[in-house]
Amino acid sequence: MQPTEFRTGVIAPVECVKEGFELIKSDYWMLFAISLVGALIGGVTLYILLGAMVCGIFYAFLKKIDGQPVVFDDLWKGMNFWAPGLVVTLFVAVPLLVYYIGVYVTLIGAIIAGSQMGEAGVMGLLLTAFAVDFVVLIILVCFHTLLMFSFPLIVDRGLGGIDAMKTSARAVWQNLGGVAGLLGVNFVLAMIGAALCVGTYFVLPIIIAGNVVAYRRVFPSLNSQSGYPVQ
């Protein structure tokens, strides 16, 4: 199997999450700390190191999923992938920034324009602005979903940022049903975490583990043999 080849029809969402939890539970708190510290560093550095930290997080999770011991210093391995990680981060963060600015501008514009049209006019323009923003949000979610395997591809396959995104998009598209189901399960887990007042950070390692299991099913270790169809 070549680095950019992948399996199709192998993502079973609930099974991926269950398998991921079983594989990481012995090192749950270590992976929780890695995820939390990586996210904090990515945030306080204004996303300059976010890509590197995400790569470090995936580096640790991939080691665990593949049966290798995990240490906290695995997080810093992400610095080896700073450049390609930054490329992917820009493609993820810049559209979000533009979206948030667009939401602000459209809402303010609707209020200003509608103020001259009375209360009904304001409500009509606000509803229109909300509808447009919602459609754009759905498009962004779809775009980001296509990139969900980009960071692990950088770490696991050594791909550059652009190649990782292109390969991720192809793999996600060919496994769209399984990926959509996995995102649905992840959303439920996040909502349960929030509802139980334990915070989504505590379920984040489980979500990441499920995603990494799905990734490994689609992109098996290059030393393994696949009995599944390959694209």
**What are residue 230's DSSP bridge partners?**
7
Q: What is the mean pLDDT of residues 115-141?
A: 79
Say which residues have a Cβ less than 8 Å from residue 105's Cβ, sequence separation at least 6.
none
pLDDT of residue 67: 92
For residue 27, how many other CB atoms are within 10 A of its CB?
Answer: 19
Per-residue pLDDT averaged across 66-85, rounded? Answer: 96
- When mean pLDDT is compared across 38-47, 112-121, 131-140, 145-154, the lowest value belongs to 112-121
pLDDT at 50: 95
What is the mean predicted confidence (pLDDT) over 130-157? 92
pLDDT at 118: 64
Which pLDDT score is estimated for 119? 66
CA nearest neighbour of 185 among 168, 208, 216, 215: 208
Three-state secondary-structure class, residue 166? helix
Cβ contact 91:160 at 8 Å: no
Confidence of residue 124 (pLDDT cuts 50, 70, 90): confident
pLDDT for residue 4: 87
Which of 20-24, 25-29, 112-116, 184-188 is predicted least confidently? 112-116
For residue 185, pLDDT over 50 is answered with: yes
Q: Which two tokens stand for residue 165?
A: 């995104």
Residue 90 pLDDT level (bands cut at 50, 70, 90): very high
What whole-number percentage of the chain has pLDDT above 90? 68
Beta-carbon count within 10 A of 99 CB: 15
Of 65, 7, 3, 4, residue with least CA distance to 31: 65
Task: Say which residue the tokens 């939401």 belong to.
Answer: 103
* Rounded-to-integer distance, Cα 78 and Cα 59, Å: 7
The distance of Cα 88 from the centroid of its chain, to the nearest Å, equals 11
Is the pLDDT at 130 greater than 70? The verdict is yes
